[in-house]
Amino acid sequence: IQKGTETLAEEASSRHRVAFGVRFGVEAGEVVVGDPFGGATMATGDPLNLAARLEQQAKPGEIVVGPAVHALTRGAVSYEAVGELQLAGKKDAIRAWRVLKTSDQVGGARGVEGLSAPLTGRDEEVALLKEAARRTRAERKTVLFSVLGAPGVGKSRLIREFAAGLQSEGTRVLRGRCLPYGDAITYWAMAEMTWAAAGIGSEMTSDQALDQLRSVAPDAAVAERLAFAIGLRKESPVGGEGLDREIAWAFRRLVETVAAEAPVLAIFEDIHWAEPRLLDLIEYVASWVRGAPLMIVCLTRPELLDHRPGWGGGRIESTRIQLDPLSRNESAQLVSALLTVEELPPSLRDRIVERSEGNPLFVEEVLRMLIDESVIVRRDGRWVATPAAGDVRVPETVEALIRARLDTLPHSIEPLWWRWVRIPRWSTATWRTL
């Protein structure tokens, strides 16, 4: 929206001598909404009020966010602290941040800011990945490697560590993420990889991006097909039902061109959200790239196999692993590695491990909450538990994981879920039926 209005502002200034700018205030949280099935779209709640107040503090062209949005996005967005603001209708001062820039990749690196821990409990999976990469380089072949696991179990962290190691050895890493909703997202993950492979920056105009793509593509036919697929061209380069095959062919040619110079690691994230046409493209590339060191890694939730049970089969050299939750001991190791607090009450440590249920994201978010709320503080270079450490509540961000699991429900169940939100009192029999 911001970039689009900048273009309109330039046009309005040059044609009509009218100057305008758009400012934004953003906050997250729970709101009360009308019944979408009845056509009601009204929403009320404190996050809406706070967002409006933040918008009033922003200058034209600025995006100002509140504490909840900052906490949820600081891994993917660079911020500048605005400070504490006294806002109308708020008793206490509210901390706010100004957006500087966003990551070129959808979804930022996860983790607890200021803390780090070695990859825990994944030695076997790392060994399998490294062996697949070795075969790719030594035999100049294509390997498809799929990592299945529940939300937050550590798929992205595993591959991030693995990719960093390969990148340091000269491998070209391309990343793309499938989106759960939106317009024109069929080839979004492929588009992200194409932008990276061609060196297309987010600051480039469409014409500049097209010129850059043409300079990297092996020929004009490849460039024209990819330009249409990633939104740089509106006119289809081919007619009929063969367009998807042509796009897959063009992407294969681009990958082969890049892999001729250095081994390539192509990471497709969240392919459980991918449309069949993108899944077809991935399998096509994995099957037909020849004589090039290409490793394709796909991260997905297990439900991919519900509608694609034969994923990675056929002629493809494919490996598929299931990433299980950490054991209780491994979860405890992760907590200890992140927070070396000798005085950490055993009851608190046990509570964190128990609530995480082996899910690394749960561990990170509980620890993030403890730090944000000063239950655990940094003193003299050490982490120290305060007296408030005796009582731990489940952090709000755990809701994000619950919702991530709920969005795997079949569409026929969604109206029931909506009714459960609206009518919180259910009988035991009704809940069992659901």
- What are the structural domain ranges in the chain? 2-102, 123-323, 328-395, 399-433
Higher pLDDT, 336 or 412: 336
Could you tell me the CATH superfamily of domain 123-323? P-loop containing nucleotide triphosphate hydrolases (3.40.50.300)
**Do the first three CATH levels of 2-102 and 123-323 match, i.e. the same topology?**
no
Q: What is the mean pLDDT of residues 307-336?
A: 87
Instruction: Evaluate if residue 244 carries a pLDDT over 90.
Output: yes
Query: What are the Cα distances from residue 4, in Å, to 7, 36, 61, 62, 191?
Result: 5, 29, 11, 14, 20
Section 185-210 average pLDDT: 92
Q: pLDDT of 270-299, one tens digit each?
A: 999 999 999 999 999 999 998 999 999 999
What does the pLDDT read at residue 265?
98
Average pLDDT of every residue of the chain:
83
pLDDT digits (tens, 9 = 90+) for 32-89: 877 666 666 678 888 899 999 999 999 988 999 999 899 888 877 899 999 899 888 8
Residue with tokens 């538990």: 385
pLDDT(3) > 80: no
Residue 115 burial class via C-beta count within 10 angstroms: exposed 0-12, middle 13-18, buried 19 and up: middle
Two tokens, residue 191: 């588009």
pTM: 0.75
394 pLDDT tier (thresholds 50, 70, 90): very low
pLDDT of residue 399 exceeding 60: no
Element (H, E) at 100: strand 94-102
Is pLDDT at 421 greater than 70 in this prediction? Answer: no
The answer for residues whose C-beta is within 8 angstroms of residue 368's C-beta and 6 or more apart is 71, 112, 113, 395, 397
Identify which has the larger pLDDT, 341 or 128.
128
In CATH, which superfamily holds the domain spanning 2-102? Nucleotide cyclase, GGDEF domain (3.30.70.1230)
CA-based nearest residue to 25, from 51, 57, 59: 51
Contact (Cβ atoms closer than 8 angstroms) between residue 53 and residue 25: yes
Mean pLDDT of 198-227: 92
Please give the pLDDT value at position 294: 98
Structure tokens at 107: 């979804």
- Who wins on pLDDT, 106 or 132? 132
